[in-house]
Chain A
Amino acid sequence: MSEAALDVHELCFRRGRQDVLLEVTLSVTAGDFVSIVGPNGVGKTTLLKCLMRILTPSSGRVTVLGKELPAYHQRELARHMSYLPQSDHRVPPFTVYEYVMLGRYPHLSPFSTISAADEAVVQTVMDRIGVSAWKDRDLHSLSGGERQKVLIAAALAQGAEILLLDEPASFLDPKHQQEVFRTLGQLNADGVTIVMVTHDINSAALHSRSIVALQHGTVAFSGASEAFMQADVLRRVFDIDARFVDHPQNGRRLLIPEGHA
């Protein structure tokens, strides 16, 4: 196995008197595609925010690419790690190009204008994600799925080797879901480490290599996707009786929803 991109050791986060995360310990190998799953309100988003240093944990240690989190300047951290928050349903008032260019922030200095190199990166990323055609359109004028692609492009424009995503496809129609996951798969194949929070077990099983399941604020399962898709594991983590079916294309095990006769 190659080196660890992320190392989390006994991370705790308290909000008021409530423990949201309780001694979370996990490790993400460089180049992995990890899904973090778990019931609603279990602290998945909080965990991502602690990794990106949007929230400060109450105790514990986070190491990013061999360096502890507090030792990073936020700008330096952003050059290595990028985060796509869950949509807050407020659309930024920018054009597609302007928004993707905001991703270049950690590479800019104050008073500087945008360099040709920045423009080249932004153009490459927009071409790759397939949003160049909307370059001058307002984000408002795009559909939810189109907009999500732009947000991913902006996160990529940062040029980071680790990508944190919070429910990147959850509110999209099937076509855009497919496109988003295809893009993420390609990025991962190119060596980008992906950590994705999702409440959808099947997209986790289908697209990621490893799965981390949180329960009551702590790690209930950590391992390969295949090992996760077992009846006893799902009963323990999600409190459901799982039935499975194999994917006809790649043989991955999928959960089927409960049916009523």
Chain B
Amino acid sequence: MKRRRTIRVLLIVCLSAAALVVAPLIGYRLINPLDVLGGGLTELEMQIFWDIRVPRVCLGALAGAGLALSGMVFQAMFRNVLATPFTLGVSSGASLGAALYVVLGLQFSLAGIAGVSLWAFAGAALAILLVYGITLMRPGFSAASTLLAGVAVSFFFSSLILFTQYLSDFSGSYRIVRWLMGGFGLVGYQAVFSVLPFVVSGVALVAYLLHELNLLTVGDDVAASRGVDCVKARRLLFFATSLMVGGIVAVCGPIGFIGMMAPHICRLLVGHDHLRLMPVTLAFGAAFLVLCDGFARAVTGSYAEIPVGVITALLGGPFFLWLLVSDTGGGRLMED
């Protein structure tokens, strides 16, 4: 069993890497990989490949990896299948932060980091503080109640976003709507570099806490008795997820589904040991979102794109349901 799972880990990581390499070659115009290596690209192809597709794939990979990892962390911390950046209100918190930045017409950056990313991070952190604060007020709060609180916070923030949209002028309103659909429409290397530090630092923090995540999955009492400082671990993990979700949502919009399904699919495939689960979740999340984005581009041509969130759910939903009912996965969900 252990051997089989290790093989699966390697297989998924390799396949995902391959998908990421192939992704920039496909689209409305196919590009021959030999031309890229041999320098046989035309001027136009050079532009399409290096200026549009490569940064777009990088952005998609960062977003997919970060959102999937955030979902994995939330599921472990709340010991619940439904805990995701979306259900806990973190995505809508980040969205609200970014929407406010747009509506208020702010333009600033801090130490090279875009203001909108910082606002989205603040929104994500605020949502988590709210949900977590509510759970702290009543000791013994169940995971289900926490999720309900998260859903309430999520709706509250979503309404505030609609409200800001109502207050803003036509162009601001349009920007918010387009951005809420999620996607990688506005790209270039600048977008990649504004997401990169958020995702990298978040991933590093989570990697630092993998043993703790394993024990939090078992429950706080056991975790504490094994020597985990649960309060500190939770704080760091909340900070890490706020960073990732905030940084990604600010640029790509709230892309749904991936944070929920990618980690579940990976749990079903390789089990729950986070030392094994984390690399798989990162690789799978990255490749899956990039493929969905490629699919969105290929189906509709380069001008009228379907939002990538639509494709992630259309492709991932049936696959997930199949894994859920078949025995091929061999793994299990969080609880059943």
Chain A 45-87 interface mask (CB, 8 Å, partner B; 1/0): 0000100111000000000000000000011111101111100
* Residue A90 lies at the interface, judged by CB distance under 8 Å to chain B: yes
Task: Say yes or no: B209 contacts A85, CB within 8 Å.
Answer: no
Task: Say yes or no: B222 contacts A85, CB within 8 Å.
Answer: yes
Chain B interface size, as a band, is: 20 to 34
- In the complex, what residue of chain B is closest to A15 when comparing beta carbons? B139
- In the complex, what residue of chain A is closest to B220 when comparing beta carbons? A54
A94 to B2, CA, bound (A): 12
Task: Say yes or no: A90 contacts B227, CB within 8 Å.
Answer: no
Stretch from B97-105, B176-184, B211-219, B283-291 that touches the partner = B211-219
Task: Say yes or no: B211 contacts A83, CB within 8 Å.
Answer: no
* Residue B1 lies at the interface, judged by CB distance under 8 Å to chain A: yes
Task: Say yes or no: A82 contacts B271, CB within 8 Å.
Answer: no
A97-B224 contact, Cβ under 8 Å, with A74-B229, A90-B79, A102-B215: no
Task: Say yes or no: A110 contacts B208, CB within 8 Å.
Answer: yes
Chain B 178-217 interface mask (CB, 8 Å, partner A; 1/0): 0000000000000000000000000000011111001101
* Residue B228 lies at the interface, judged by CB distance under 8 Å to chain A: yes
* Residue B275 lies at the interface, judged by CB distance under 8 Å to chain A: yes
* Residue A39 lies at the interface, judged by CB distance under 8 Å to chain B: no
Task: Say yes or no: B208 contacts A85, CB within 8 Å.
Answer: no
- In the complex, what residue of chain A is closest to B231 when comparing beta carbons? A74
- In the complex, what residue of chain B is closest to A113 when comparing beta carbons? B275
Chain A interface size, as a band, is: 35 or more
B residues 80-119 near A (Cβ < 8 Å) are none
What A residues does B229 contact at CB under 8 A?
74-75
What B residues does A138 contact at CB under 8 A?
332
* Min C-beta distance of B330 to chain A, whole Å: 9
* Residue A140 lies at the interface, judged by CB distance under 8 Å to chain B: yes
Task: Say yes or no: B219 contacts A103, CB within 8 Å.
Answer: no
Residue in B224, B332, B333 whose CB lies within 8 Å of A54: B224
Task: Say yes or no: A93 contacts B272, CB within 8 Å.
Answer: yes
Task: Say yes or no: A93 contacts B209, CB within 8 Å.
Answer: no
* Residue B36 lies at the interface, judged by CB distance under 8 Å to chain A: no
* Min C-beta distance of A140 to chain B, whole Å: 6
Most chain B beta-carbon contacts within 10 A, residue among A92, A108, A158: A92
Chain A 88-129 interface mask (CB, 8 Å, partner B; 1/0): 101111110111001101101011010000000000000000
A105-B227 contact, Cβ under 8 Å, with A93-B272, A93-B334, A94-B272: yes
A98 to B277, CA, bound (A): 13
* Residue B42 lies at the interface, judged by CB distance under 8 Å to chain A: no
* Min C-beta distance of A157 to chain B, whole Å: 9
What B residues does A82 contact at CB under 8 A?
225-226
* Residue B51 lies at the interface, judged by CB distance under 8 Å to chain A: no
Task: Say yes or no: A105 contacts B211, CB within 8 Å.
Answer: yes
Task: Say yes or no: A83 contacts B227, CB within 8 Å.
Answer: no
What B residues does A10 contact at CB under 8 A?
none
A54 to B224, CA, bound (A): 6
A74-B275 contact, Cβ under 8 Å, with A93-B334, A110-B209: no
A234 to B1, CA, bound (A): 52
Interfacial residues, chain B to chain A (CB-CB below 8 A):
1-2, 79, 139, 207-211, 214-215, 217-222, 224-229, 267, 271-273, 275, 332-335
Sample (30) of A-B pairs whose CB atoms are under 8 Å apart: A53-B224, A74-B227, A74-B229, A75-B229, A76-B227, A77-B227, A84-B225, A85-B221, A90-B79, A90-B335, A91-B335, A92-B218, A94-B218, A94-B271, A95-B2, A97-B2, A98-B214, A98-B272, A102-B218, A102-B226, A105-B226, A105-B227, A106-B227, A108-B211, A110-B208, A111-B208, A113-B275, A136-B2, A140-B332, A164-B225
Given contacts A82-B225, A93-B332, 18 further A-B contacts (CB under 8 A): A52-B224, A74-B227, A74-B229, A75-B227, A75-B228, A77-B227, A81-B225, A85-B219, A85-B225, A94-B271, A95-B1, A97-B2, A98-B273, A99-B218, A105-B226, A110-B211, A136-B1, A164-B225
